Amino acid sequence: MTTTLTSHRPRPPAQPVTLRARRLPAYAAPAIAVAALLLAAGIVYGADLGGPVLVVVVGALLYLAGLFAAANAVEGRRSARNRTWSALIHSAFVLAVLPLASVVWTLFSKGTERLDGNFFGTSMNNIGARDANGGAYHAIIGTLEQVGIATLITVPLGVLCAIYVVEYGRGRFAFAIRFFVDVMTGIPSIVTGLFVLAFWVLIVSPWFNDGRPGFSGFAAALALSVLMLPTVVRSTEEMLRLVPAPLREGAYALGVPKWKTILRVVVPTALPGIVTGIMLAIARAAGETAPVLLVAGGGAAINFNPFENNQSSLALFVYQQAGEASKYSPARAWTAALTLVVLVLVLTIAAKLLARRNRLAR
């Protein structure tokens, strides 16, 4: 009887299984970016090819190439492609933010020179080229009145038009409304100014002005309302279409009439988006110069009556001061531009807060 002895050798310990792949260290991307900028600066300035803009462009290209090569060597091709596309997306975001940041910085750096009581409390009446004083009080009054009247005209008309197109419109009439609204979206502002000039100033206003045509802030408001209308209609229409159909169907199932469903359910649900579209239209109207110049005429004196005599606006004030042959005019123009931006920003924030409050209260 033979007995076979088998030796049992100890097995080596098993290596722990990990699902973590190799990754670039956190400092790799910033280090590659710095190296790419330094290399780009050396190439551009060494060969005398251009300035800092070209350095940034060449540095961005070198950064993308270096990031892809490093990620491909450490993490693999799939992760390298993902990192490269992520870097492209972030670069696009930076390119979009840089002009905005530049505009904001320029406005605040140059527009604060005349932020004083004289600028906001006086007009340009009897102000000469050598006078350092003079302000935009008359232009602020004109902007508020013209944009306010245009908003009162446009918002009800635009919202009701959008409600009809979405809730009731069928057939050729609704198609015609959509078509003409799209056409109006691309009309230049000077064309609307010429239209109001030919219709209101030259034909209608003589009936109320002893047979003489007259400029007025109301004529400017009519021109601005023509520019605002397509924006309000299209934005309101899109917001109403986003309201879920079950909300309407639930109201109909409870026996609520269609008009009350639109008033109490559909419009409040779409209100934040509608307010956003209205504020975009207001911002565009507040920045228009050509219609105000054509039908309101501008002016250096304060005019509280929008239905008589010439009236100015902030956008027109900026245009006029930018062309004045005075060393004090550029400061007035920059401060007026900053005032216009802040005014639109304040109105937008107030409207957003009001819309949010109404939505939370429902």
Question: pLDDT digit string (tens) for 26-49?
Answer: 888 889 989 998 999 998 888 888
pLDDT at 138: 92
pLDDT at 360: 42
Question: pLDDT digit string (tens) for 191-225?
Answer: 999 999 999 999 998 898 888 888 999 999 999 99
Distance CA 250, CA 254 (A): 6
- pLDDT over 70 at 354, yes or no: yes
Question: pLDDT digit string (tens) for 243-258?
Answer: 998 988 898 888 889 9
Distance CA 190, CA 186 (A): 12
315 and 292 Cβ atoms separated by less than 8 Å: yes
- pLDDT over 60 at 362, yes or no: no
pLDDT at 17: 47
- pLDDT over 70 at 4, yes or no: no
Domains of the chain: residue spans and CATH: 27-112 (no CATH), 119-361 (1.10.3720.10)
Question: pLDDT digit string (tens) for 88-137?
Answer: 888 888 878 888 888 889 999 998 888 888 899 999 988 888 888 888 99
pLDDT at 1: 46
- pLDDT over 70 at 21, yes or no: no
In this prediction, residues 149-162 reach a mean pLDDT of 94
- pLDDT over 60 at 19, yes or no: no
Q: Distance between the two ends of the chain, CA-based, in angstroms?
A: 95
pLDDT at 149: 95
What separation in angstroms does the CA of 30 have from each of 37, 72, 83? 11, 17, 13
pLDDT tier for residue 361 given thresholds of 50, 70 and 90: very low
- pLDDT over 70 at 11, yes or no: no
Distance CA 357, CA 271 (A): 11
189 and 290 Cβ atoms separated by less than 8 Å: yes
Distance CA 134, CA 118 (A): 7
Question: pLDDT digit string (tens) for 308-349?
Answer: 889 999 999 999 998 888 888 999 999 999 999 999 888 888
